[in-house]
Copies of this chain bind each other. A is one copy, B any other.
Amino acid sequence: MPSDPFFHPVSGFDLPRFAGVPTFMRLPHVPPGHARFDEVEIGLTGVPWDSGTTNRPGPRHAPRQLRDASTMIRAQHAVTGQRPFEAANCADLGDVGPNPADIPDSMDRITSFYGDLVQAGIRPLTAGGDHLTSLPVLRALAKDGPLGMVHFDSHTDLYKSYFGGTMYTHGTPFRRAVEEGLLDPARVIQIGIRGSMYDTEDVDFAAANGIRIVRIEEFFDRGPEAVMEEARAVVGDLPTYVSYDIDFVDPTFAPGTGTPEVGGPNSYQALQVCRGLHGLNIVGADMVEVSPPFDASGNTAFLGVTVMFELLCAMLAGRG
């Protein structure tokens, strides 16, 4: 069923791209409580939060900058021909209000907000936030059992703890998610891992639990298509989450992030892998770790929203 025109974005032929109150992809702003909230099918949501960051901060500023950059997105996917905003009712749901000085409180706020989306049948496309954001989101989405996950990152985020026992940081979300039964480790694949290592504690955990890690050397040797083919096989047809840490991409293409690791994919490959997600049963997706204070040119944000557009099209593949 085609989307309702209320949910169509403003065109750059009508209003120049630099004009207007910036919402994600120029969609209507339909926060919880809005009269048409229940009609939303895909909810673009911001989580401006970085309290789990152990290194350089900044993702608290990402949703706003991503909204700003997203006015450059147009209506049609150039390769697939998809017109996603006509295929489903998409809307900007606004931001979850975090508590920057209280991690547990913020996690509860996020899980609660996403619980409402699940309740309303809205699939979320999230603009984080640091990577700890994914944990409270998964708590809401995995209510009916563990999910599979395709995870793009230069880090595994599978560490046990930091700083002598701190369990909730952006380096630990997926360790927690496996422990809490939110993810099925046999249906998890991590792509792009690289950089010098503390030790092998994270990869040992992955190996012991059946998480598939595709390091960057393998990624470049086999190529994006082959790797994504394997990714589709790993997660299969069951409900799957997609988590995209912008530091998956080489920091030259995405400097605006907190823990850059050189030697990563370029921006073409950053988009290419998303096209490999088409056909999956995607219950939600996120774009995390964009840090505007380290993104002087704004290019990271523009790449980030272009990836979000690709993720949106992947979530809608097979429709419209």
- Copies per complex? 6
Majority secondary structure, A binding face: loop
User: Closest CB-CB distance, A102 to chain B, in whole Å?
Assistant: 5
Check if A61 sits within 8 Å of B54, measured CB to CB.
Answer: no
Q: Chain A 51-95, CB within 8 Å of chain B: the 1/0 string?
A: 111111110110110011000111111110000000000001011
User: Closest CB-CB distance, A156 to chain B, in whole Å?
Assistant: 11
Q: How far is the CA of A13 from the CA of B13 in the complex (A)?
A: 33
Q: Which residue on chain B has the smallest CB distance to residue A170?
A: B101
Q: Which of B55, B78, B95 lies in contact with A215, CB distance below 8 A?
A: B78
Given contacts A57-B57, A162-B101, contact A21 B67 (CB under 8 A): yes
Q: Which of B101, B198, B215, B253 lies in contact with A11, CB distance below 8 A?
A: B198
- Check: A17 CB closer than 8 A to any chain B CB: yes
Interface size class of A (residues with CB under 8 A): 35 or more
Check if A15 sits within 8 Å of B264, measured CB to CB.
Answer: no
Check if B297 sits within 8 Å of A195, measured CB to CB.
Answer: no
Given contacts A98-B19, A262-B306, A264-B268, contact A196 B299 (CB under 8 A): no
Which A residues between 271 and 308 are near B, CB-CB below 8 angstroms?
Answer: 271, 293-294, 296-297, 299, 302-303, 306
Q: How far is the CA of A168 from the CA of B86 in the complex (A)?
A: 30
Binding site for B on A (CB under 8 A): 11-23, 29, 46, 48, 50-58, 60-61, 63-64, 67-68, 72-79, 92, 94-95, 97-103, 105, 162-164, 166, 168-169, 193-200, 215-217, 220, 250-253, 255, 259-260, 262-264, 266-268, 270-271, 293-294, 296-297, 299, 302-303, 306, 309
